[in-house]
Chains A and B, each alone.
Chain A
Amino acid sequence: QVQLQQWGAGLLKPSETLSLTCAVYGGSFSGYYWSWIRQPPGKGLEWIGEINHSGSTNYNPSLKSRVTISVDTSKNQFSLKLSSVTAADTAVYYCARKGWLFSSRYYYYMDVWGKGTTVTVSS
């Protein structure tokens, strides 16, 4: 059974860089894309971006200028960096696996999630 374990700094000052890592245990790493998703307090979910084992990435255009997602296949880990953070970046950050089903075409979904990391940006 696949499990995601995530960690990273929980308190940042404005203008600093957010850095989180997610480790994948118990399943295939190379067959999937791996995502980051965030949720501000009391609000909805926002997809940040994704990466696969070969380092191919896709980002949310609204965050693209500040986001870098990287992968370490030797450790089955992927990481998120978000630069120049502000209070608006305060959120719970989740890592997740993008599962897929092929039935004449590919259907995707987020089927495995980490427990979330609370990140607060405050001076």
Chain B
Amino acid sequence: DIQLTQSPSFLSASVGDRVTITCRASQGISSYLAWYQQKPGKAPKLLIYAASTLQSGVPSRFSGSGSGTEFTLTISSLQPEDFATYYCQQLNSYSYTFGQGTKLEIK
């Protein structure tokens, strides 16, 4: 199985900050990576796929980059509604593993 490791696991930031979350894969996965946002009690929401393609309807302050084994999700200017948990997922090979999550909290 391909393992995904996100860093940091917890992140404290303020409204207006620029934040970056990293996802590292245990082996190369080309650009077969997606990012999701999850709020408490809700299903995950797709933000980014193919490592850098913004899902329709997602604000442009979200961006993704990377390929191979290292990927990043950047939020350019945090808004109050962005405080949530973020997951990466590899869709290069079954079993489509997820990272352990990054919880983004208000400072």
**A109–B100 alpha-carbon span in the complex (Å):** 17
How many residues of A are counted as interface, with CB atoms below 8 angstroms from the partner's CB atoms?
24
Q: Is the CB of A58 within 8 A of B44?
A: no
Report whether B89 and A45 are in contact in the complex, using a CB–CB cutoff of 8 Å.
yes
What is the distance, in angstroms, from A35's C-beta to the closest C-beta of chain B? 8
Cβ of A47 and Cβ of B97 under 8 Å apart?
Answer: yes
B31 touches A107 (CB 8 A): yes
Verify A109–B49 contact, CB threshold 8 A.
yes
- Select from chain B the residue with minimum beta-carbon distance to A62: B95
Q: How many residues of B contact A (CB 8 A)?
A: 25
**Residue in A35, A94, A109, A116 whose CB lies within 8 Å of B34:** A109
Given known A108-B91, A110-B34, contact A47–B43 (CB-CB < 8 A): no
Q: Given the complex of chains A and B, what is the CA–CA distance between A115 and B100 in angstroms?
A: 21
Q: Across the interface, do A47 and B32 meet the contact criterion of CB distance under 8 Å?
A: no
- CB interface residues, B 1-59, toward A, < 8 Å: 1, 31-32, 34, 36, 42-46, 49-50, 53, 55
The 10 closest A-B pairs by CB, nearest first: A109-B49, A113-B43, A60-B95, A107-B50, A47-B96, A45-B98, A108-B91, A109-B34, A111-B46, A44-B100
- The 20 sampled A-B contact pairs (Cβ below 8 Å) are A44-B101, A45-B44, A45-B87, A45-B98, A47-B96, A47-B97, A59-B94, A59-B95, A61-B94, A61-B95, A94-B44, A107-B32, A107-B91, A109-B50, A109-B89, A109-B91, A113-B44, A114-B43, A115-B42, A115-B43
* Residues of A participating in the B interface, judged by any CB pair closer than 8 Å: 35, 44-47, 58-62, 94, 96, 99, 101, 103, 107-111, 113-116
